[in-house]
Amino acid sequence: MPRKRPATPESTELKRYDEANVARLGLISIQERVPVGHNTWAIEFVVDGRPARLSCDALPRHGGVPHGLDNDISLALITLYLEAGSPDNGTFDTSAYQVLKVTGLDTSGYYYKALKESLDRLSTATYTASEAWRAGGRWTTVRFRYIERLEYTSDNDRLNLSGGSVLRLTLAQEIVKSVRAQYIKPLNLQFLASLERPLTRALYRLLDAQRYQPDAEHDPATTYHVNIIEWADACKIVDKKPAKIRRTLEGAHAELIERGYLRRVDYDGRGEKQSVRYEFTRQTTLKVADPELVGKLVRHGVAPGVARKLVDEYGQARITERITKFDAIVASGYQARSKAALLVDIIRDDQEKYADPQGFVSQDRRAELEVQRAEQTRGLEAKIAEEDQQRERAWRQLPLEDQAEEALKTVSALFGRRLSTSTLAALRSAIVNGELDAADLVKRTTQAAMNMQLQDLSQELSVYAQRFG
């Protein structure tokens, strides 16, 4: 299935934070698949001169130990927990749709099954870190499940997830305390989401934890050197043969070098005594091509590498405009031997070789029209009214799914536990189905909060949800 990634402004670096213990220990195997029956692992290592041990025990019926996409889901949960204000009890509300959206996975249907399987593993697998978990400046021993409690709504009696499923999750207290104590490390979420494979994303997350220490965020390491077997343990690679380890990591290494995160990767020595040496690029900000825009070019037949270079070189505004122009030219009946080659040429064209087809308005012309409209606006009151109308239109133009997600964030934050997950799910479903106006719900909720009337409104919404359901 195709992997959709969220569109982000080209000038924005989505700098989020990862819980440092989870990132450093690599609780989840970077492998996209694990052998049938691989339900437990344990590794031993040394921390500050002291022996430490880390183990995982999983239930066979959920597909073995956490692995692959579970890395993406686990990070999405930390991101959503932080966005929810990091409540001290570790409990927050979200939706299956929002988890996939934050993760950058396709929200059309296929990945809801994968999300359910991942949540099952993360809520049942038990981790034990002996003298390996950093808390209060000391190495401690802890035992926990990544998700301590999971509650969700389902559209059927098979308890499957869908876009309308509302989730109420409680993260492990060990993770919660660590995040709230600011034992976190920076993470370029935009760059992470732009990487092609789950294995590459997982390796990037693990490598970045070695590069950035929580107490030295502004002094990242330029190299990292580790024994190959120890690194396989950290990555939770099942087959510990050195040749197999190198083959497992080869594709991820190539992608991280191509994308400018790594400068090079070298192996020293032979057999189990050989080591891996990573050299990081010195740039502090990675330039990331808008993944949604790259996807549009790829769907037009442009090779992924060429698409990324075009977006990097010409930027979001020009690429978007030239794709629109290309579509208009093709719709007018223009015959091209290769449509992909035509699109690339239109993007690169600075000589105006291609006349604007009928109905197409260039960016410069649109700018002129905007200036004319602005000049026609008179008076401060009229300007304020126009701005309000523009914001209202922007909200109305959002897909109902996105309107529901934005409304759900505000409602959940202001009401807290006054509303049940079933009520939240019913409200979300009503918005998506056009039965309930999301903007009006947000306005009423905000006004109720300001007037200390949330309890009255929560009762009204609960009754509405029961009637709607």
Q: Provide the residue range defining the domain that includes 97.
A: 15-218
Query: Residue 2 has what pLDDT?
Result: 40
* Span 441-468, average pLDDT: 84
- Residue 265 domain flag: no
Specify which of 178-192, 420-434, 441-455 reaches the highest per-range mean pLDDT.
420-434
Instruction: Provide, rounded to the nearest whole percent, the portion of the chain with pLDDT above 90.
Output: 37
- Residue 275 domain flag: no
Q: Is the pLDDT of residue 365 over 60?
A: no
Of 345, 376, 407, the domain-final residue: 376
242-258 helix and 198-211 helix, angle to the nearest 10 degrees? 90
* Span 327-331, average pLDDT: 82
| Residue predicted with more confidence, 146 or 20 | 146
Same domain, 79 and 199: yes
* Span 321-337, average pLDDT: 81
Annotate 243-290 with DSSP letters as a single string.
HHHHHHHHHHHHHHHHTTSEEEEEEESSGGG-EEEEEE-S-SS-----
* Span 21-27, average pLDDT: 89
Q: Is the pLDDT of residue 374 over 80?
A: no
CA Rg, the chain, in Å?
A: 25
Same domain, 108 and 65: yes
Q: Which amino acid is at 147?
A: I
Of 202, 218, 234, the domain-final residue: 218
pLDDT digits (tens, 9 = 90+) for 165-214: 999 999 999 999 998 888 888 788 778 877 888 899 999 999 998 888 76
Mean of pLDDT over the chain:
83
> How remote is the C-alpha of 176 from its chain's centroid?
19
- Residue 236 domain flag: no
Same domain, 361 and 428: no
Query: Residue 177 has what pLDDT?
Result: 93
Annotate 8-25 with DSSP letters as a single string.
--TT---EEEEEHHHHHH
Same domain, 427 and 297: no
Q: Are 41 and 237 in contact (CB under 8 A)?
A: no
Query: Residue 315 has what pLDDT?
Result: 82
- Residue 273 domain flag: no
- Residue 317 domain flag: yes
> How many domains is the chain built from?
3
pLDDT digits (tens, 9 = 90+) for 71-108: 999 999 999 998 888 899 999 999 999 999 888 788 87
Q: How many Cβ atoms from other residues are within 10 Å of residue 369's Cβ?
A: 11
* Span 18-39, average pLDDT: 90
